Amino acid sequence: MKNLIALLIGVACLFSCEKHKEKKRWKSYLGIYESVSGYHPIKDSVLFNKIDVTDAGISLVGGQKTINMNVYTRELNDDARFDYKCEYHNLTAYTMGGGGLTNETWTAEEFAQGRLFYIKFEGNTLEFVIKTGNDLQTFAFLKQ
């Protein structure tokens, strides 16, 4: 029984260490990454040229609209080619008009349109990947 308890404690400590390493790894990626090739389309007429990596996830920044995305830990990533899976969270697109200040909204389904989103880090480079079926679109960004 003592051996079982010691084993369970060891497994719990190992799990806690892995979580700590993951948080530390993510903190090393925090910052603004700028596109190496200009603006990229993400939905309709929405273009982005920067990705802001924060404690809360990532934001695709460009023009008047910012798309905020959740980022899931490596264990929840369903494609081992990439470091993290991302999912649409919300859109920040405030405009001032005759009716006052408004913010455009999309549902996750309207935004994703069957696409999956991933990021991969290598040195000072972030790759943002849009996966549609078997097709991949990859955009490179450099840390500023």
What percent of the chain is predicted at pLDDT more than 90? 44
Domain that holds residue 100: 31-143
In a domain, 46, yes or no: yes
Each residue's pLDDT tens digit, 32-85? 999 999 888 887 767 899 999 999 899 999 877 889 999 987 777 788 899 999
All residues at 6 or more sequence positions from 84 whose CB lies less than 8 Å from its CB, including other chains: 71, 72, 73, 74, 77, 118, 119, 120
Position 126 pLDDT exceeds 90: yes
In a domain, 78, yes or no: yes
The backbone torsions φ and ψ at residue 121, rounded to the nearest 5 degrees and listed phi first, read: -110, 140
Q: What is the mean pLDDT of the chain?
A: 83
In a domain, 25, yes or no: no
pTM: 0.81
In a domain, 23, yes or no: no
Domain count, the chain: 1
In a domain, 8, yes or no: no
Position 10 pLDDT exceeds 50: no
